[in-house]
Structure 1
């Protein structure tokens, strides 16, 4: 049984790559995912590997918190995904390190209209920045994004950290908060995944 969060994620990413191995890109990004299956059927599943970007965050001292289904997998969800969604505090003082991390892996950032923007600190201060990097695409969000009644800054404060034997640290939202986020979104895939997380045994991921 796999019970270490980062090993769960490595195993899931490998399974995703194997599942998508014989598919060809058809131009579907994370924003094209349907509300039932999620991003597993998008181009993001091709070669999915979030670790190059997560390692870049670690090297640059970035506290970007993993949310979405990658966090779900780290908590034990069996569902696969093809995207990596992130939450950071949006503080201008932290933007240079975040920009440096994205730039170090050759990530491509876009604005709200889908126009490419340079990975500069000011480009990351918008509420949500879509990104594409080698291995993983997704959204990099801040508390300024409309989150409804969710206490997003508290979610950041309660995030937990997984550390692998090599010293890599990955921050991810705690299970209780991820369930709240899922239920607030309310899409079929979110409600299904919230129920799954609710059914899992309690772990160190709270």
Structure 2
């Protein structure tokens, strides 16, 4: 038997798309809540399935490291790292203390207000590494962009970025695309309308 074909980088992962359509709570046609299975309560088997699906889209880019930011990015990034058999590094937030030399960025938080500092020890992110960024959501893209800038500061390269859910209407893809970073998403949300989720292509 031959190897499984690689899915298109933007091919939806139907089990996730279906669960969002059936189970998501939409607040003010602005906020999408699926934290009951994604980033507060986590279903390990489903997270593993999503990690495998995202890993299949990222594997062709031959990353050597998976990078995310705490806290909600850790579960999907770990699932992807397991599937790719790669180490995982996560940027620490809040009042991070990391081993020097440290690489960092300040990221404004539109949902929580204020700013967050992301920091990574240079011991774990080094020149020449091929990095896959992974997170649960791509919304405005600020966290992913900050991570990409940290990777560049280290002399490493972001070869691709993968997200479980993309909120297309928040236009986070643009900044990463401007850097030439290929983007994989499992559930592309076109908009939130009338209390329901509208996926791309509906």
In the superposition, the TM-score normalised over structure 2's length comes to 0.29
Using structure 1 for the length normalisation, give the TM-score.
0.28
